[in-house]
């Protein structure tokens, strides 16, 4: 049997993992043998998600640790508790993100701008620096940062969010350059429009769904489970020669990027 996608013995830490894409990715990693840390702001939601994963896997593969990514001390506590309970980290999926403002950049309050850039970019930088030493010590490891196809274009309503996601791709490229010689791979995952609670405002009416379907070669919105395969691929030896890339999962809407 091929071991190409076998994650047995690995430890994966995922933020924004109690629902949606993050939960699907955590579930897939656990199903392929990894122990996973399910993290988000609310502990009860993390615990519920971890229980669902353990139930589907038939054994204790997932643990729950609450963390607000906007606070450096909470991120450090997340990494420290992961070390204490599971050991060194092999895979990091920095999936958590925020978008507290919808509208023109001319109208965005400073607090909203700072929150978007802090949570979507700086927190990923912090977390990578906290987890990176584990991977460098082993000479291998995989980091995934969730960006967005929004990174590839401007927007009249999501401008600052899109800027933060383009910055995430730049962060990925720089870390891939710095840590590649040490065996650590770093890639960005760029979702298109996915039917998750986070993106509900963009798809929650029939007209919007029809418009998106008509503009998407695969003629449907993305679903959270569409990210299971890419997570396993990037965490496993199947992607051993891939780093510094921005991988679009978008049904074909950004095939020319």
- Which of the residues are catalytic? 161
CA distance 222 to 24: 13
Question: Helices in the chain by DSSP H: which ranges?
Answer: 20-31, 43-57, 72-85, 110-117, 123-138, 159-179, 200-203, 206-215, 228-235
Q: What is the DSSP letter of 250?
A: S
Residues in CB range of 180: below 8 A, 6 or more apart:
243, 244
CA angle 81, 87, 90 (to 5 degrees): 110
Residue 221 · residue 193 · CB < 8 Å? yes
Residue 67 · residue 77 · CB < 8 Å? yes
Residues in CB range of 119: below 8 A, 6 or more apart:
69, 70, 96, 97, 98
> Radius of gyration of the chain from Cα atoms?
17
3-state secondary structure of 181: helix
Residue 246 · residue 191 · CB < 8 Å? no
CA distance 73 to 75: 5
**Tokens 């620096």, located at residue:** 129
């Amino acid at each position: 049997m091929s071991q190409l996608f076998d994650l047995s013995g690995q430890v994966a830490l995922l933020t924004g993992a109690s629902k949606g894409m993050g939960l699907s990715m955590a579930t897939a990693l656990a199903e392929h043998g990894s122990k996973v840390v399910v993290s988000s702001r609310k502990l009860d939601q993390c615990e519920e998600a971890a229980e669902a994963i353990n139930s589907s896997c038939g054994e204790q593969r997932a643990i729950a640790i609450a963390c607000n990514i906007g606070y450096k001390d909470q991120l450090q506590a997340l990494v420290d508790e992961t070390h204490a309970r599971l050991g060194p980290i092999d895979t990091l999926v920095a999936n958590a993100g925020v978008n507290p403002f919808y509208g023109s950049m001319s109208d965005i309050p400073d607090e909203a701008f700072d929150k978007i850039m802090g949570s979507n970019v700086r927190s990923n930088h912090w977390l990578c620096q906290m987890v990176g030493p584990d991977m460098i010590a082993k000479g291998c490891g995989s980091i995934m940062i969730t960006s967005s196809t929004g990174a590839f274009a401007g927007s009249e309503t999501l401008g600052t969010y899109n800027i933060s996601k383009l910055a995430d791709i730049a962060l990925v490229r720089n870390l891939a350059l710095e840590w590649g010689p040490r065996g650590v791979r770093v890639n960005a995952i760029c979702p298109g429009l996915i039917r998750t609670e986070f993106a509900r405002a963009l798809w929650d009416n029939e007209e919007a769904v029809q418009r998106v379907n008509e503009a998407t070669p695969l003629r449907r919105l993305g679903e959270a489970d569409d990210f299971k395969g890419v997570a396993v691929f990037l965490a496993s030896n199947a992607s051993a020669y891939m780093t510094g890339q921005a991988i679009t999962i978008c049904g074909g809407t950004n095939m020319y990027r």
